[in-house]
Amino acid sequence: MSKPSLNILDVVVRFHPYIGGVENTVLDLNRRLLARGHRVKVVCADEPAGSPDHVQGIDVVRLPWRGKLGNTNLAWGLRDALRRERPDLIHTHIPTALYADAAADVSQEMGVPLVLTYHNDLIGEGLKGLFGKVYNRFILPGLLARCDRVVTINPNYATKSPHLSASDPKITCVPWGVDEELFHPPADGGPAPDAPELVLGFLSLLDEHHRYKGLEVLLRAVAELRRAGRKVRLKVGGAGEEQGFYRKIAGELGIAGVTEFLGFIPGPDLPAFYGSCHVFVLPSTDARREGFGLVLLEAMACGRAVVSTPIVGMYGDIQKHETGLLVAPEDPAALAAALRRLDDERGLLAEMGGRGRRLIVERYTWTSVTDAYESLYLGAVADRAARRGASTTSSSK
């Protein structure tokens, strides 16, 4: 029996061509759902301005906005835009609030299921932090209560977050995936294991909202290795207003000459970036802000050994399958020690990289992610229909 085709409305703050982890994964999931015969429309803010209203077959409604609250674009016509649609199901996302709440309001008005992907908690500094505290205390509980399904991308997040409950039957974990055909080991094998310099890679948005990715910790670890006479080079991918901040730190630490700031790296060029490194490093520092760490999947798909912290979503698999090393967060000395070990034992690079590639193919492909979301959507729609049927039967008695 064939699966029914759904009309899916995805409500997200920003969408492709805006670059970010949430934006990339929303695109990857929805274009695969579209290929399976479902109809998909995305509603988001128009950033960058003038972005196309069709992306790889996906219809996009882009709303004018004025100002931001934290990292959320304020689009005043959001609810009206959602009310003009007629979906079978609405999918939305946290931590960028307001959009999820509008989606919840409209899903109730329409009587359609609401699926929420809970990437991570809403926290921050200054005004964003104050808003987060108020939102988490007074608004978030109501949003969660209205959801038909809540999806975490980190298997430990329902336990970590003070706002979720691991015993809530609505909560399930679906880790993000990677395109294993796009991200693959380099044909030339990448840098030779016995190359004079150990080449390290790091990739993130370089803005104030992503300081928790740990680049400053990595810069300090590289400086420690250089002081000890180690030959290492760091390639930093990513653009943002904080690049100058990190360049200044690299200069103060005396490692400007071995730190390359590559700027924005387009998607098709990412496999080559990962492949040009011996090791990919993501020393995330904040367990509540780091939802997953998708770049680690991409690096492992490219056959690279990884070094991270026991914060990222797949840290258990990194440890279990020995695809890299884990170190304590915010500890440059521990990070330097892990990198020193890989420099001393270069044979581990290929072994870890090979195990990482196998792990991706077995567990973290977009096919398995799409299977999980499709099943979850269909279950939510069927449950909502069954409740409507039961209510109609009860009221007719």
CATH code of the domain in which 49 resides: 3.40.50.2000
Residue 245 in this model has a pLDDT that exceeds 60: yes
Q: What is the pLDDT of residues 146-178, one digit of tens each?
A: 999 999 998 888 888 999 998 899 999 999 999
* Best CA proximity match to 362, nearest among 300, 289, 295, 272: 300
Residue 183 domain-assigned (yes or no): no
Instruction: Please give the Cα distance from 303 to 323 (Å, whole number).
Output: 9
Q: What range does the domain containing 209 cover?
A: 198-363
Q: How far apart are CA 282 and CA 297, in angstroms?
A: 11
E strands, the chain, where? 7-11, 39-45, 54-55, 58-63, 68-69, 72-73, 89-94, 114-118, 149-152, 171-173, 198-203, 232-237, 259-263, 279-282, 305-308, 324-326
One domain for residues 264 and 381:
no
Q: Mean pLDDT over all residues of the chain?
A: 94
pLDDT in tens, 317-367: 999 999 999 999 999 999 999 999 999 999 999 999 999 999 999 999 999
Domain identity same for 213 and 291 = yes
Gap between the Cα atoms of 85 and 10, Å rounded: 11
Residue identified by tokens 């899916």 is 8
Q: Give the pLDDT confidence of 362-381 residue by residue, as tens digits.
A: 999 999 999 999 999 999 99
* Same domain for 216 and 156: no
Residue-wise pLDDT tens digits, 272-286 = 999 999 999 999 999
Identify whether 84 is part of a domain.
Answer: yes
Parallel, antiparallel or unpaired: strands 68-69 and 72-73: antiparallel
The verdict on 125 and 170 lying in the same domain is: yes
Q: Is the peptide bond before 48 cis (omega within 30 degrees of 0)?
A: yes
User: Residue 190: inside a domain, yes or no?
Assistant: no
| pLDDT digits 0-9 by tens, 76-90 | 999 999 999 999 999
Which pLDDT belongs to residue 396? 57
- Band of residue 388 on the pLDDT scale cut at 50, 70, 90: confident
pLDDT attached to residue 183: 96
Is the residue at 327 inside a domain?
yes
- Answer yes or no: do 104 and 241 share one domain: no
Whether residues 216 and 353 fall in one domain: yes
Q: Say if 350 falls within a structural domain.
A: yes
Kindly tell me if the per-residue pLDDT of 397 is higher than 70. Answer: no
208 and 331 belong to one structural domain: yes
Residue 389 has pLDDT above 90, yes or no: no
Percentage of the chain exceeding pLDDT 90: 84
- Number of structural domains the chain divides into: 2
Instruction: For residues 385 and 345, state if they share a domain.
Output: no
Convert the pLDDT of each residue in 55-75 to its tens digit.
999 999 999 999 998 889 999
Examine residue 189 and state whether it is found in any structural domain, yes or no: no
Same domain for 111 and 22? yes
Say yes or no: 161 and 171 in one domain: yes
Whether the ω angle into residue 17 lies within 30 degrees of 0, i.e. cis, is yes
- Domain assignment present for 281: yes
* Strand, coil or helix: 171: strand
In a domain? residue 192 = no
Q: Say yes or no: 218 and 279 in one domain.
A: yes
- pLDDT, mean of residues 244-251: 98
Question: What distance in Å separates the CA atoms of residue 78 and residue 135, rounded to the nearest whole number?
Answer: 19
Same domain, 297 and 385: no
Residue 129 has pLDDT above 90, yes or no: no
**Tokens 């759904």, residue?**
6
pLDDT 10s digits, 295-315? 999 999 999 999 999 998 889
